[in-house]
Structure 1
């Protein structure tokens, strides 16, 4: 398994940053290689992505979601991937968004890309584009304020 951890500070209140992040279908507007995300239910999403010229589709489950705090997920099929995005109030108008992700590169292209730091750079770029997206808008495109409790082991 490989891991990535990146963060970005955005000039919007924590609620605005969090609410925008819950709009998964908007991800293709700021995430490189993400062609489509469909919200199937409160806890399931279907992703169409392209990595190193290889198109992949997979489902991901929201495993924990706490308004203004965190969104955690894991893939339910295909290559293993899991992560969490946390939101930290810096002051009333600024929020730190931190992405932590673990993934299992598949195939020669993904393994080589991982060794070359491609995933780290993509994650950093995605967060920078999220910053530009939300700061330019100044408000979220929608919100889901529900809670998903982490399953007990």
Structure 2
């Protein structure tokens, strides 16, 4: 099992960061390799991703959701991973978002990618892109 922890500070209130993170269908806008996320129920969704040039689909379920504080999930089939995102109030206009992700790399390509630190690099990039995605654009 591989574990990744990444955090980013964003210039938006916790409520705004949390609200954006719960719009799962918009994940492809900032998550590398995520082609689409479709809700299939209140807490269930189907993800379509690309890993090492291969398309994969898996189902995930939200296992815990505390508004403004945390969201946890785990896969129910396909790939094996689980995670939690926590939201921390820094000020009325600033928040810290922390992602903890546990994965079980499957197949030679994923195992090699994990050993090379690609999962960690992708998570770090996703968090940076989330920051750019959620923060209001600066006036020119």
Fold shared per TM-score above 0.5:
yes
Gaps in structure 2 of 5+ consecutive residues: none
Give the TM-score normalised by the residue count of structure 1. Answer: 0.88
Deviation at 1:137, TM superposition (A): 5.9
Gaps in structure 1 of 5+ consecutive residues: 139-153
Give the TM-score normalised by the residue count of structure 2. Answer: 0.96
| Residues 1-153 of structure 1 aligned to structure 2 (within 5 Å) | 1-136=1-136
Q: CA RMSD in A?
A: 1.1
Tell me, in whole angstroms, the C-alpha distance in 1 between the residues paired with 2:12 and 2:137.
Answer: 10
Find the residue that maps to 2:133 and give its secondary structure: helix
Higher strand proportion (structure 1 or 2)? 2
Distance verdict in 2 for CA 1:28–1:64, change over 3 Å:
same
Find the residue that maps to 2:134 and give its secondary structure: helix
Distance verdict in 2 for CA 1:56–1:12, change over 3 Å:
same
Tell me, in whole angstroms, the C-alpha distance in 2 between the residues paired with 1:115 and 1:136.
Answer: 36
Is the deviation greater in 129-138 or in 79-88? 129-138
Q: How many residues align?
A: 138
Deviation at 1:42, TM superposition (A): 1.4
